[in-house]
Chains A and B, each alone.
Chain A
Amino acid sequence: MRKLYETTVVINGGLEESFIQETIEKIKNTIVAQGCELKSVLDQGRKELAYPINDTKTGYYVHIEFMSDGTAIKEIERQYRLNESVIRYLTVILDKRMLEMRERVLKYGTPSQTSGDEGTQTDTVAEQAR
């Protein structure tokens, strides 16, 4: 059965831009080569890590959504482990509950992101208390 997967890759942020783009291309190619269908690629760029990993302070975050029957995941994750510029990776199934939550984020999340986070968040907490 084919399912929708999402894989997150954290690439060492200390590397050069061209090398990072090359790595992303390589990852995409491995996913396609495994017979998976790419759905979307979300490039979040460099972000500061919450804690240092191997003396690295920044990471380059890429989220890739793809359709797969599950057998390809093993090989994709093996390629991540072989790739030294990938410092962290995570592959999750985007099931019904996850997609439902994504919808909610789209529906209610956007206004709170643009305006001040603090104010809107306390409002929602107050709504819950009622």
Chain B
Amino acid sequence: MSTVSRNTKRPTQRFAQMAQKKPVKNQVVFFDYRDERKLKRFINEQGKIIPRRITGLSAKEQRLLTKSIKWARHLAIIPFVSDEVR
């Protein structure tokens, strides 16, 4: 009995530790498809969308971001491709 209880206890403890280490959700990141300046941060000089590993957004936020960028491109708020790159 004691071994069983130990086995079930250990993983839950580990999960609890992992949950504690999880970074606090950053509420400061924001963007809006209607404003060029609010999207500039999430595209590089070529006009490409910056990946999640660099923006640090959650999956949910990144999904909204890619959509917002594509809407903004359609409305000619941000370019599809910046021509400054040679």
By a beta-carbon cutoff of 8 Å, the part of chain A in contact with chain B is 8, 10, 44, 47, 49-51, 53, 59, 61, 63, 88, 90, 92, 97-98, 101-102, 104-105, 107-109, 113, 117, 121, 124-125, 127-129
What is the interface size of chain B, counting residues whose CB is below 8 A from a CB of the partner? 25
Q: Are A50 and B71 in contact (CB under 8 A)?
A: no
Which of these, A90, A109, A113, contacts B74 with CB under 8 Å? A90
Q: List chain A residues, Cβ under 8 A from B74.
A: 88, 90
Q: List chain B residues, Cβ under 8 A from A47.
A: 77
Q: Are A8 and B34 in contact (CB under 8 A)?
A: yes
Total cross-chain contacts (CB, 8 A): 65
Q: A101-B64, A113-B37 are in contact. Are A10 and B76 (CB under 8 A)?
A: yes
Q: List chain A residues, Cβ under 8 A from B26.
A: 127-128
Instruction: Report how far A127 CA is from B37 CA in the complex, Å.
Output: 19
Using CB atoms, name the residue of chain B closest to A8: B75
Q: List chain B residues, Cβ under 8 A from A108.
A: 27-28, 30
Q: List chain B residues, Cβ under 8 A from A92.
A: 71
Q: Are B75 and A10 in contact (CB under 8 A)?
A: yes
Ordered by A's residue number, 14 sampled pairs between the chains whose C-beta atoms are within 8 Å are A8-B75, A50-B78, A51-B80, A88-B75, A104-B30, A105-B30, A105-B38, A107-B27, A113-B37, A117-B37, A124-B28, A127-B28, A128-B29, A128-B56
For the complex, is B48 an interface residue (Cβ under 8 Å from A)?
no
Further pairs besides A102-B32, A124-B28, A127-B26: 11, Cβ < 8 Å? A49-B76, A50-B78, A59-B76, A97-B64, A98-B64, A105-B32, A107-B27, A109-B30, A109-B32, A121-B41, A128-B29
